Chains A and B, each alone.
Chain A
C-alpha cells in the first residue's frame, strides 16, 4: 500500500483498470460533472477552485481559480480552453501517464473548466511525438461524446463543450502558453509579449485559459470532495493537494510518485524511489525539471512545496526530480542541459538566441579541456544578460543549470581548466594571441 492516499493515480493503480469510460464510471467517474453542470453556478465553481488553493501543475504554479477569474465577465463572444499537454520539460513524464492511463479523468476536468469559464471549445495541445497518447485521447473523446458528456447540450443541461486533440510538432517552447496559442493558430511557436494576457487576448485574440493536464485532472476530485478537503492536503495554505513527481536518474526505482506537497526530497528519493541505484551517495538533484537550478544533498530535507523549494534557491517547476550520484560530472550535466536549451531556443529574442549558442560553445570548450579561467566570468556574465531580458521565461530557465553548478561545484570547472593549462592544450587565442 502506498504511504499516502492517491488521488490522481488512484484509478490506474487498481488491478485491471483500463482507462475506458466504463471503468472510469465504475470508480465514480463523471459524478462531479453530473453534480455540477446546471446545478452549481459557474462562478461558484471558480470560487471553489480558488478556495481549494489549486495551483498550476505545469511549472509556474499560478493559482488556477485566480487565472480563471481574469476572464472578462461581460464578454459575449467565444472563449477557449486549451489543455497544455505539450509535456516537454526534461525530467517530466507525468502528464503522459495521466493521459494514457486515465484519459477520462482529465476530460471530465476539461468539461468542468469549460463550464466554469463559459468556454464551448477546448483544444488539447499534445506534443507531436506522443502519437499513442493522442490516439487514446481521441478514442476517449469519442466515448464521452457518445455518452453525452461532451458535445451539444451535455446531459440535457444546456451546456455545450466540444473537445479536439491538436498535435504539436516537436517544439519545447510550445509548452509556454502564448507560444502554444501561436502554434495552435498554425504559426511558428514564438511566445507573445505580455500583456495582454491570454485571459483577454488568447486564442484567435479571444479570452482563453491555458491549463496543464495535471491541473485539470484535479478538478473532478475538488468538486466531488470539496474545496476544504483539498485545501487541507499538502502544505496549506499556499501549496495544497498532491503532486505527481517524476523521479529519474540514478535511483533504484525511477517513475511517477504521487505524494502530498510538502513531503521532503529525502522521503521521495529514499522511500518511494528506493534510494540510490548503486548505493553511492547522492551528489546533486534537480527539483523541478531542467529549468530548475540544481540542489545539493544539503537540501534533501527541503519540503517539496512551492515556497520551500523557492527559499532553497530553486523551483518546484514541473515536478521532474532528477537525481545524480557521486562521480557524475556537474560540468557535463550542465552542458547536456545547455545543449537542450540551445536546440530549443525559438530564436525570437537576441539574448536567448545568441546567448544560448555562446553558452553551449563555452561549455563545450571547458568540457573538452580547452577552457581558460576567464571563461567562468564570461559564462556568468552571459547568464546575467539573458535572464530577465527575454519575452518568456525560457531565458531564466536556460541559465539555471550553469549558474547553479557554478555556484556549488565551481571547483569542477576550475579543475578542468587547470588540466587544460597544465597540458598546454589551450587554443592560441586563449594564450593571449589575438588576431
Chain B
C-alpha cells in the first residue's frame, strides 16, 4: 500500500490543488516509482484516495506514455526516432543497441535489466542522437558512448555520461575548459 509508506508525500501532493483529481498523475508517479510500473492495486488505492472510480484512474493512465502498465526492465532505454534525431543517425543508434543487447524495440533482456523502446521527440534535437534511460538523458551518442553507458549501468547502476542542465552550444568559457 502506498498510503502507509508515503502518507506525508500524498498529503502534500493533494494539498497543492483545490480539486483532488489534479493529484492523480503525481500520485501515479509515486506508484510507478515504488513498483517500476503502475499496478492494478495502486490504481484502486489511488482511486480511493482521490474519491474517483477505478475506471477514471485507468482511463487517465492509458493516455500517457510515461506511465507504464506493464513491468519494464531496471533500465528503460528510450531512443528518440523522430525526424530530427533520425537526420543525425538515430536509426544507427537503435541498431547498435539491438546488436549489443539482442533485443528489438518493445522487448526486454531475459535478465530483466534492459528494456528498449523507440520513442518520439524528447526535446534534444540540438544534441541528437539521444536517448533517455529512466530519468536521465544521454545525448550526442556515439557507439563508444553507448558501450560505456551500457557497461556503466551493468556494473554501477548509473553513468556519468548522463546530461546535466541543458545548454547547447556551450557558453564560451565551458568550451575553453573542455578544450
Chain A residues with CB under 8 Å of chain B are 12-17, 19, 78, 87-93, 95-97, 100-101, 127-133, 136, 164, 166-172, 183-189, 204, 246-250, 253-256, 290, 320, 322, 324, 328, 333, 336-337, 339-340, 343-344, 346
Residues of chain B within 8 A (CB-CB) of A320 are 84, 125
Chain B: minimal CB distance from A325 (Å): 9
Chain B: minimal CB distance from A193 (Å): 18
Q: Are A12 and B126 in contact (CB under 8 A)?
A: no
Known contacts being A90-B120, A169-B64, A170-B65, is A13 close to B172, with CB within 8 Å?
Answer: yes
Which of B81, B120, B124 is within 8 Å of A93, CB to CB? B124
Q: Are B123 and A96 in contact (CB under 8 A)?
A: yes
Chain B: minimal CB distance from A345 (Å): 12
> In the bound complex, what is the Cα–Cα distance between A194 and B171 (angstroms)?
43
Residues of chain B within 8 A (CB-CB) of A167 are 25-26, 29
Which of B59, B66, B173 is most buried by chain A, counting CB atoms within 10 A of its CB?
B66
Which of B60, B66, B84, B167 is within 8 Å of A128, CB to CB? B66
Residues of chain B within 8 A (CB-CB) of A16 are 173
Closest to B32 in A: A169
Known contacts being A78-B18, A93-B166, A343-B120, is A129 close to B125, with CB within 8 Å?
Answer: no
Nearest 10 pairs between A and B by C-beta? Answer: A169-B64, A186-B24, A248-B125, A15-B173, A186-B21, A170-B66, A100-B165, A170-B65, A131-B135, A90-B121
- Chain B interface: which size bin? 35 or more
Which of B83, B87, B120 is within 8 Å of A344, CB to CB? B120
Known contacts being A13-B171, A188-B60, is A256 close to B126, with CB within 8 Å?
Answer: yes
Residues of chain A within 8 A (CB-CB) of B125 are 90-93, 246, 248-249, 254, 320, 322
Q: Are A336 and B171 in contact (CB under 8 A)?
A: no
A selection of 24 A-B contacts at a CB cut-off of 8 Å is A15-B172, A90-B84, A95-B123, A96-B124, A97-B166, A131-B136, A167-B29, A168-B25, A169-B67, A171-B65, A172-B120, A185-B22, A188-B59, A247-B126, A248-B87, A248-B126, A249-B88, A249-B125, A255-B127, A256-B169, A322-B125, A336-B86, A337-B83, A340-B82
- Which residues B4-42 have CB closer than 8 A to chain A? 16, 18-19, 21-26, 28-29
Q: Are A97 and B120 in contact (CB under 8 A)?
A: no
**Total A-B pairs in contact (CB under 8 Å)?**
170
Residues of chain B within 8 A (CB-CB) of A130 are 123
Which of B123, B124, B164, B172 is most buried by chain A, counting CB atoms within 10 A of its CB?
B123
> In the bound complex, what is the Cα–Cα distance between A248 and B123 (angstroms)?
11
Residues of chain B within 8 A (CB-CB) of A100 are 165-167
Residues of chain A within 8 A (CB-CB) of B63 are 171, 188-189, 346
> In the bound complex, what is the Cα–Cα distance between A100 and B86 (angstroms)?
25
Question: With an 8 A cutoff between CB atoms, is B96 at the interface?
Answer: no
Residues of chain B within 8 A (CB-CB) of A92 are 123, 125
Question: With an 8 A cutoff between CB atoms, is B163 at the interface?
Answer: yes
> In the bound complex, what is the Cα–Cα distance between A13 and B174 (angstroms)?
9
- Which residues B100-123 have CB closer than 8 A to chain A? 120-123
Closest to B67 in A: A169
Q: Can you add 18 more A-B contacts, CB < 8 Å, to A204-B19, A249-B84, A256-B126? A: A88-B121, A90-B120, A91-B83, A96-B166, A100-B165, A127-B123, A128-B25, A129-B66, A166-B16, A168-B66, A248-B84, A248-B88, A253-B169, A254-B125, A254-B168, A322-B83, A336-B86, A344-B120
Q: Are B126 and A255 in contact (CB under 8 A)?
A: yes
Chain B: minimal CB distance from A299 (Å): 19
> In the bound complex, what is the Cα–Cα distance between A221 and B171 (angstroms)?
21
Q: Are B87 and A187 in contact (CB under 8 A)?
A: no
Q: Are A204 and B168 in contact (CB under 8 A)?
A: no
Q: Are B87 and A88 in contact (CB under 8 A)?
A: no
Residues of chain B within 8 A (CB-CB) of A101 are 165-167
Q: Are B168 and A256 in contact (CB under 8 A)?
A: yes
> In the bound complex, what is the Cα–Cα distance between A344 and B65 (angstroms)?
10
Chain A: minimal CB distance from B172 (Å): 7
> In the bound complex, what is the Cα–Cα distance between A13 and B24 (angstroms)?
38
Residues of chain A within 8 A (CB-CB) of B168 are 97, 254-256
Closest to A190 in B: B63
Q: Are B165 and A184 in contact (CB under 8 A)?
A: no
Closest to B169 in A: A255
Closest to B135 in A: A131
> In the bound complex, what is the Cα–Cα distance between A248 and B29 (angstroms)?
32
Closest to B84 in A: A248
> In the bound complex, what is the Cα–Cα distance between A16 and B171 (angstroms)?
9
Which of B26, B84, B137, B163 is within 8 Å of A166, CB to CB? B26
Which of B88, B121, B127, B165 is within 8 Å of A132, CB to CB? B165
Question: With an 8 A cutoff between CB atoms, is B128 at the interface?
Answer: yes
Q: Are A93 and B87 in contact (CB under 8 A)?
A: no
Which of B67, B87, B166, B172 is within 8 Å of A250, CB to CB? B87
Closest to B63 in A: A188
Chain B: minimal CB distance from A44 (Å): 29
Closest to B16 in A: A164
Chain A: minimal CB distance from B124 (Å): 6
Residues of chain A within 8 A (CB-CB) of B87 are 248-250, 322, 324, 328
Known contacts being A93-B166, A333-B83, is A88 close to B25, with CB within 8 Å?
Answer: no
- Which residues B153-175 have CB closer than 8 A to chain A? 163-169, 171-173
Q: Are B123 and A19 in contact (CB under 8 A)?
A: no
Q: Are B60 and A186 in contact (CB under 8 A)?
A: yes
Residues of chain A within 8 A (CB-CB) of B23 are 186
Which of A15, A97, A183, A255 is within 8 Å of B25, CB to CB? A183
Residues of chain B within 8 A (CB-CB) of A13 are 171-172
Chain B: minimal CB distance from A334 (Å): 9
